[in-house]
Structure 1
């Protein structure tokens, strides 16, 4: 799906949904937002770059009005876990949306989302706790998203000028088992690396790392 414009529906137009809409439109995608709150809808409508539906994301009529029958991606990011789960279920089962993503507000509900087939269930509370806990201890690598019930974590790491990887290609480095470099942000551009890709000071590396490989992955970028 990368490299082409997608049609994406966001259920929830509060702070999270609004930010997500701005981000996705900025990346060139077509976005529709379903939101019950009239004031939030008016703010998004004034922005004028997304289709805004004032309605319930669990209502078939609102979903159809938003274009659910043609959507490539569906993200439910309301503050209510029940609404997020039901909306994703409707998108996946009733309308065969290829990929659904849900925001989880209560960590205790995470297993339910996975059980009912939500493709990506993001536990914002656990992610925030991990960032706070690990970010204070090791501020060079920040966990972004926990995937597969904790079997892997998407992490972000900025390369310092003193890092031993600076100036080297991906293939020149020895990478631990259980990790992969997913992307590199270089001077504002996203790069999907190959073996010949050179790492530079200031680059932001995003890696997919298994829990047992996190420390080894971090050491690749450390001096000494």
Structure 2
């Protein structure tokens, strides 16, 4: 799907990269052209300089065909305006905004637009809100740095080693539930049909790892 990201700070750049890695088309907006330096030089997203709530800027970013819009600039007011323009003027269904002020966030939630605070797993939360296909964490450590989550691997992963899945996801296979019993995998463990798979991943990589697990294995694996 096509996603427009407003703001190319650390969260915006991370979110755009994660969306691209799991197969989505991304356009990213920032009023400061130097902000795009946070993106890899070969990152193929469209970079648009301008205010993310400006109608002409949004049209250049492809808002008219967008499936989702994420407002992650450093200003609450800009994020609120951008999100409302995307939802109300262009009819984008999946809109999410980062709001620093808790009172504003509660008001904004009542308007039907999800808001996300600045927490260690912001990228994961945004990616889940945009794609709406990632399960909730089964466990997360108190600092928010590591999460364990259930995944539903694509059927083409069956018969492959868990180590190959780990390489593709850049995450650990924490354990499996096989025939009702827990299994701690090692380098020789092979995935079987009906395995329940739980992975451990660091903040910012959880939702992306889930999406990659649900996709077919890379052709070069």
Q: TM-score range by the shorter chain?
A: 0.5 to 0.7
Tell which has more relative contact order, 1 or 2 (C-alpha 8 A, sep 6+). 2
SS at match of 1:33: strand
Residue 41 of structure 1 corresponds to which residue in structure 2? Answer: 36
Residue 52 of structure 2 corresponds to which residue in structure 1? Answer: 57
Residue 122 of structure 1 corresponds to which residue in structure 2? Answer: 116
Residue 155 of structure 1 corresponds to which residue in structure 2? Answer: 137
Contact 2:138 2:150 in 1 (8 A): no
5+ residue gaps, structure 1, are 1-5, 132-143, 148-152, 159-180, 207-224
Residue 97 of structure 2 corresponds to which residue in structure 1? Answer: 102
Residue 76 of structure 1 corresponds to which residue in structure 2? Answer: 71
Q: In the comparison of the two structures, how many residue pairs are matched?
A: 155
Map Cα deviations across residues 59-101 of structure 1 (whole Å, 9 max, x no partner).
0010000000000111001111111111111111111111101
1:103 Cα deviation (Å)?
A: 1.1
> Scaled by the length of structure 1, what TM-score is found?
0.58
SS at match of 1:109: helix
CA RMSD across the alignment: 3.6
Q: Distance in 2 between matches of 1:88 and 1:198?
A: 46
SS at match of 1:74: strand
1:204 Cα deviation (Å)?
A: 2.6
- Higher Cα Rg, which structure: 1
After superposition, where does 1:126-205 map in structure 2 within 5 Å?
127=119, 154-157=136-139, 183=151, 187-188=165-166, 200-201=183-184, 203-204=198-199
1:48 Cα deviation (Å)?
A: 3.7
1:106 Cα deviation (Å)?
A: 2.2
Aligned with 2:62 (options 62, 67, 84)? 67
5+ residue gaps, structure 2, are 129-134, 141-148, 154-161, 172-177, 186-197, 202-221
Contact 1:91 1:100 in 2 (8 A): yes
Specify whether residues 63 and 197 from structure 1 end up closer, same or farther in structure 2 by C-alpha distance, changes over 3 A only: farther
